[in-house]
Structure 1
Amino acid sequence: MGRQVAAFDWSRTSLGPMENWPAALRISVSNVLNSPFPAFVAWGPDLITIHNDAFRPILGMKPAPLGKPMAENWAEAWEAVSPFVEATMRGESVFFENHEVEIDRSGQMEKAYFTFAYSPLRDEEGVVRGLMDTVVETTSSVEAERKARIRNGELMHRMKNTLAIVSAIANQTYRSSQTVKEANERLLRRLTTLGNAQSVLMSEDHEAADIRAVVESSLAPFRQAIGQIKVEGQPLHLAERHVFSLALALNELASNAMKYGALTVPEGRVRLGWRTDGEDFVLEWRETGGPAVTEPASSGFGSFLIRSVLADDFNGEVTLDYRRDGVVCRLVTAESNLAFRRSAAHHDHAA
């Protein structure tokens, strides 16, 4: 910037030719130009600005500010900045850390954060004639800290929700089990399913997860033979509350199929599919080729997870039909109840 400052026609500004500048202005400009920190000098009644090389990145695509009034260079932010300038021109030093300012340096307004100090510049008689701004942009660090606070809040919220779910599952599992051994086995299976669902969420964006990833993690323990479980459906994302209830419901269906249904025999098959048609989201679990099915004399916590929890979390309807040729479970809810993003392609997969 030194060469640009020397070549600039200062006679067109209120500062006048450089050879007529007072010693205080010359010294201040020299200090700024030789500083490795972003800074500028604003001098005279118009506060004509002179910045250094380190200040350039802060300007972005702004028009060249050299030799222009400070109020013109920062017109969009002047209402917010001018009180600090006025205080400095009264002889006060001003310092702010991570101060938010809305500026336009790319053709559109943006929020930016700066740690800066305004220092009064005095002439040989001690009269304040201008100011020096030493500034560091902290936008990246401020946004990183804000995201960290949000993420920590989300983590605390998720931990509380998970503890509540675990507590409810544990209580209901022990109440509905005949023996401690049975209760322990059921609880371990259900908590493992929760853990897998949480892993899917953590591996993606923490707030939503791909339905196929949820399905795969839920059914992984039950894959005995290739092709026995077929999964098909369009790619979409589910909100967190949907992930846990769907994972638990699928785990219950697969567990029952392995104990009593289609997965008890090699020729048994399970087909799990889902679709959206612009109005409804439909998910169906269908077993075929297994032993004859009879409806249980009583329903336990597993049935409650499928019929009630799944339906409530999806704000839809769940039917569990114990047909003689195989269990059919169907979830129907309005597509608007889902928080998802479609991918570009449709995939079929046999497991």
Structure 2
Amino acid sequence: MPFSDENHPLWEVKSLKRALHAAGVALWAWTLETDAFAMDEQAFILWGLPPTDKVTFEDLSSRIHPADRDRVRAAFTATRALVGAYEIDFRILLDQEIRWISARGLGNDEGVHRGQMSGVFLDVTGRKQAEEGHELLAGEMSHRVKNLLAIAAGLTSLTSRSATSVEEMARELIQRLTALGRAHDLVRPLDASQGKAALLGDLIAVLLAPYDDSGAFSGRVRVAVPRMGIGEQSATTLALAIHELATNSLKYGALSVASGMLDISGSSTDDEVCMVWTERGGPAVESKGREGYGTRLLKRSVAGQLGGSIETDWSDDGIIVTLKMNAHNLAT
């Protein structure tokens, strides 16, 4: 019978191997007595190892992320006591790259044959990255919702100080909330051909307009920054940063009291844009302890999307926040 015959056993084995390779499934066998591993070609590629006849668990352990190494060793040792199928997810390090591997097999000696346990390795990096992205998004959404509630409560308190009637308070509060909506719209491009979302000063002024009293203390928010256009992506990131700083000020800083003043100044070079957020006249400030989610998110956004840094000076007169941003990043 010719080998090309589809009924030939070797043809079926070849087809099975192609199917496993297409699915990214790597095969392994672990000899319990000698601690030796046998793996197929796909497994060696997955672990970034050259093909060899002799691989031990320790050889693989050297590539497992240090934080997962003991857990994986304990999990593999415990698999013989498990009933049914098991699955272990862990990280491995290939140079500077982190890859997620899922090891699967049968426990309770069901998968043991001639002293060997067998199973498969799967590259689940994409799934893990998606899960981390979803968790980050959920955390951001939760934080933003809390911030919006805090902003609404703060604006209500702010408006009540200058309003003389319920009708006036409702009108001013609606105007401030509407201004926040305009600020949200401002991060969209005004001119697709220019690729700019807004002028830096306009974006900051519109974002902070709802926090500026229209009564006796009007004009307490002052903005003086370089006249320059910013890109859509950086405008969104900067808007989130300004919202975070304004929310914190509304909760604890200068914007939380009628006498507080906020000054935003800036300077620029060909390579860098510097913006200084200065609060005065607010309640006494204390140096921060443990960073909250919003602060970590703010630092990550400024460092990541804007290619810059953020420094906080907890002075006795009021907080001073210095944002340094890459000029090229800000324009994109």
TM-score, normalised with respect to structure 1 = 0.48
The structure whose Rg is larger is 1
TM-score, normalised with respect to structure 2 = 0.50
